[in-house]
Amino acid sequence: MSATGIGAPVRRKEDFRFITGKGQYTDDINRPGQTYAAFLRSPHAHATIKKIDLSAARASEGVLAILTGDDLAADKVGGLICGWMIHSKDGSPMKAGAHPALAQGKVRYVGDHIAVVVAETLAQARDAVEKIHVDYEVLAPVVALDQATKSGAPVIHDVAPNNQVYDWHLGDKAAADGAFAKAHHVTKIDLVNNRLIPNAMEPRAAIGDYDSGNDAFTLYTTSQNPHVARLVLSAFIGIAPEHKLRVIAPDVGGGFGSKIFIYAEETVCVWAAKKVGRPVKWTGDRTEAFLADAHGRDHVTHAEMALDEKGKILGLRVKTKANLGAYLSTFSSCVPTYLYAPLLSGQYNIPAIYVEVEGIYTNTAPVDAYRGAGRPEATFVIERIVEIAARELGQDPAEFRRKNFVTSFPHQTPVIMAYDTGDYGASLDKALELADYKNFQKRKKESAKNGLLRGIGFSAYIEACGIAPSAAVGSLGAGVGLWESAEVRVNPVGTVEVLTGSHSHGQGHETTFAQLVSDRLGISIDQVAIVHGDTDKVQFGMGTYGSRSGAVGMSAISKALDKVVAKAKKVAAYALEASEGDIEFKDGRFSVAGTDKSLAFGEVALQAYIAHKFSGQELEPGLKEGAFYDPTNFTFPSGVHICELEIDPDTGVTTIERWTAVDDFGNIINPMIVEGQVHGGIAQGVGQALYEGAHYDANGQLVTASYMDYCMPRADDLPSFVIDTTLTPCPSNPLGIKGCGEAGAIAAPPAVINAITDALGHEDIAMPASPQAVWRAAQKSVHKLAAE
């Protein structure tokens, strides 16, 4: 391992810029003549718009334009799209209601966009927003998921008369029913996966800029995938053809999925820029982020597990209602279907699985992918039901899991996925050891002496990352292919620029991607620049989400590097006057086998550009190669997390005492960055389990619309984590990488809830398990304190 190559815990190159305040986020960018946009948002969850009176607002100081849904229609600007088609059981396509960027006749959630004011200053834009008078006819809202599809419920979109977007299924119903028919024991569980609000540190922002000389647009925006944004804005919304639309996603301060999607605000800014004739900037404030960033999760599930007399799992049936909010956001439809149900086999050998999912409209913010996207929901179901099954059968939860682990690979589950490799027992063994499981009962007794309830909870998760083979996702309804592209440009002095279609918004690509180049070309990471986030620089890319940038993005770079080395060998052969077959490349030097003749990588780069030693007919000058990489399978990171906690029954406060995580991420490029990803993931997962929860009241008003009520996990809520890894390299990409970005968020919630219910003695508890909720459960707890 070289100092900056694969496997080295290199400090992040980008951090100097971020820590010293030199990052360039969208809001740091200002264009000459820039104007400011402010949106009028619906104060009602559900209402028809009878009339909009703009006269007072138009007369307001500094106002340049006020645009509404009528203007969008007049300009034939298309609506926002959902890019993944889901078909119901009966073969009918999902019922996607129109999603105009500015409301046309109706508003469907609090925060829905009605009009935009563009003014000289932000304060003027906001003043004018307050002067717009809208005459609403308030309609009864649909808020509760279990009421949404009942007959007589208000209709949100005419295309979906019972508010059902789809009624989808996966798996073999007859086989699953057969398993239950012969079951010795059936474990049943009802679960809610609570709605979360992503809360990236940087709110969303956009600047639309129009160049009338070239009839071309530029959009600066907080995006995880600028090329997808361009594709959607161009091909579907119809803002401009792709070659006339440049999308720049500069430094982006966190996304967690919420910045994948193409939203109303950026669409409106880029469209308005031409209408106003000046750049238009919008920067969301925190309230807007709470109200109108796509939320995550929000499932209600009933699950049943069939078991034989020894505790072997025979079958699983799952019925889920998934809240999709008021409109279908960009990838919303696939999250509770193809990103969820195929993961319900967990790490277990389950012969028969049948899953039914209803996607449902409600008068709430759209719900879409959020860190883990579907996989945390699946893991919560399987890891809760497995835990309860073990308890019901009186078996040790760790050994119950082990007994049901998949042990031979490849393993085809009954729900699409073919697990390629793994060693689940190894992760479990290591985790049990690190968590000192054997002495847990002793610690529990100690806690009881202090009046505290101690519990331990397991989560043996699996996820499908590296999303994903294009042919596979295409067959499942995706509107795009999920390959990645890369271009490696070697400069004459031997420095390297890598253009990637991945996008870094906290992941540290500028470091890890450079480490790959350093490793392969034998140069320092300081000689490598990673270029991303600009559609004029990078040819195309699918962006960063689903822990795909290592497995897919870096594999594309790896492929391009292969081509660079191959070409450089040819150049070296001319320069060293040897035959190409005799050229060896090692540690950054090209040498002629069996001689002391050699050239450094930089020298060969120069030879490629000066092209003095060969003719252009023999070999093209220059050293630049590109590659598209399409994976052959998903990757399957897995691991075991163990949470040990104490509950104060007097207050209901839960304190996590130990956290053990043993993950198999395949090969690791930078262990320090991976650890950081695991820490952040666990924090977010613990957040879901203990603190976070979006709450709408019966009128569809978001009660948790600020940090006064929406509780984020903080550093002092968490212990120091004990983190380790096991390794089975991924066989389906050249680097053996599986991905690590979502693991913690996927693994953590069931580990916490299993530990709380263990401490309380099998009481079920909803997330977030707030002090109040835990206190109430503790009052009824069957586990009486030994000390009492």
Partner 1 sequence: MYAFAYHRPGTVRQAQSALHKHEDSKLLAGGQTLIPTMKQRLASPSALIDLGHVAGLAGIEKKGRNIVIGAMTRHADVASSAVVQEHLPALADLAAHIGDPAVRHRGTIGGSLANNDPSADYPAAALALGATIITNKRKIAADDYFQGMFTTALEEGEIITKVSFPMPSKAAYAKFPNPASRYAMVGVFVAKKGSDVRVAVTGASNDGVFRAAPLEAALHTKFNAKSLEGVSVDHTSFISDIHGSADYRGNLVTVMAKRAVLKAQGK
Assigned token pair, 417: 């996925």
Q: Could you say whether residue 451 binds partner 1 (CB under 8 A)? A: no
Identify which of residues 170 and 774 has a Cβ nearer to partner 1 in the complex.
Answer: 774
Identify which of residues 112 and 127 has a Cβ nearer to partner 1 in the complex.
Answer: 127
DSSP character at residue 247: E
Identify which of residues 491 and 701 has a Cβ nearer to partner 1 in the complex.
Answer: 701
> Phi/psi zone of residue 608: left (φ > 0), alpha (ψ -120 to 50 degrees), beta?
alpha
Identify which of residues 197 and 252 has a Cβ nearer to partner 1 in the complex.
Answer: 197
Of residues 4, 2, 15, the one with CA closest to residue 508: 15
Q: Could you say whether residue 140 binds partner 1 (CB under 8 A)? A: no
Identify which of residues 54 and 778 has a Cβ nearer to partner 1 in the complex.
Answer: 778
DSSP character at residue 259: T
Burial string for 634-666 (b: 16+ CB within 10 Å, else e) reads: bbbbbbbbbbbbbbbbeebebebbbbbbbbbbb
Residue 89: alpha-carbon gap to chain centroid: 27
Identify which of residues 123 and 566 has a Cβ nearer to partner 1 in the complex.
Answer: 123
Binding-site member from 48, 88, 149, 287 for partner 1 (CB under 8 A): 287
Number of other residues whose CB lies within 10 A of the CB of residue 146: 9
Identify which of residues 31 and 776 has a Cβ nearer to partner 1 in the complex.
Answer: 776
Helix 743-760 to helix 771-780 angle, to the nearest 10 degrees?
30
State the nearest-atom distance from the C-beta of 297 to partner 1, in Å: 17
- State the amino acid at position 786 in one-letter form: A
Binding-site member from 17, 58, 126, 443 for partner 1 (CB under 8 A): 126
Q: Could you say whether residue 327 binds partner 1 (CB under 8 A)? A: no
Binding-site member from 295, 336, 691, 742 for partner 1 (CB under 8 A): 691
Stretch that binds partner 1, among 191-199, 543-551, 553-561, 767-775 (CB under 8 A): 767-775
How many residues form the binding site for partner 1 (CB under 8 A)? Answer: 23
Q: 18 burial class (0-12, 13-18, 19+ CB within 10 angstroms)? A: middle
Assigned token pair, 612: 């003095």
State the nearest-atom distance from the C-beta of 126 to partner 1, in Å: 7
d(CA 692, CA 193): 11
State the nearest-atom distance from the C-beta of 657 to partner 1, in Å: 18
Residue 726: alpha-carbon gap to chain centroid: 24
Q: Where are the alpha helices (DSSP H) in 155-279?
A: 173-181, 226-231, 264-276
Binding-site member from 3, 493, 703, 786 for partner 1 (CB under 8 A): 703
Over the window 704 to 743, marking each residue x when it contacts partner 1 by CB under 8 A and - when it does not, the resulting string is x--xxxxxx-------------------------------
Q: Where are the alpha helices (DSSP H) in 576-670?
A: 601-610
Q: Could you say whether residue 650 binds partner 1 (CB under 8 A)? A: yes
State the nearest-atom distance from the C-beta of 117 to partner 1, in Å: 15
Stretch that binds partner 1, among 125-133, 151-159, 236-244, 569-577 (CB under 8 A): 125-133
Pairing relationship of beta strands 496-500 and 638-648 according to DSSP bridges: unpaired
Identify which of residues 27 and 663 has a Cβ nearer to partner 1 in the complex.
Answer: 27
Identify which of residues 471 and 703 has a Cβ nearer to partner 1 in the complex.
Answer: 703
Identify which of residues 123 and 787 has a Cβ nearer to partner 1 in the complex.
Answer: 123
Q: Could you say whether residue 787 binds partner 1 (CB under 8 A)? A: no
Residues 6+ apart with CB under 8 A from 414: 171, 172, 175, 345, 350, 351, 352, 353
Stretch that binds partner 1, among 136-144, 239-247, 594-602, 702-710 (CB under 8 A): 702-710
Q: Could you say whether residue 651 binds partner 1 (CB under 8 A)? A: yes
Q: 720 burial class (0-12, 13-18, 19+ CB within 10 angstroms)? A: exposed
State the nearest-atom distance from the C-beta of 703 to partner 1, in Å: 6
Q: Which residues pair with 626 in a beta bridge?
A: 487
DSSP character at residue 568: H
Which residues bind to partner 1, rule: CB under 8 A?
Answer: 123, 126-127, 130, 287, 650-652, 691, 695, 703-704, 707-712, 770-772, 775-776
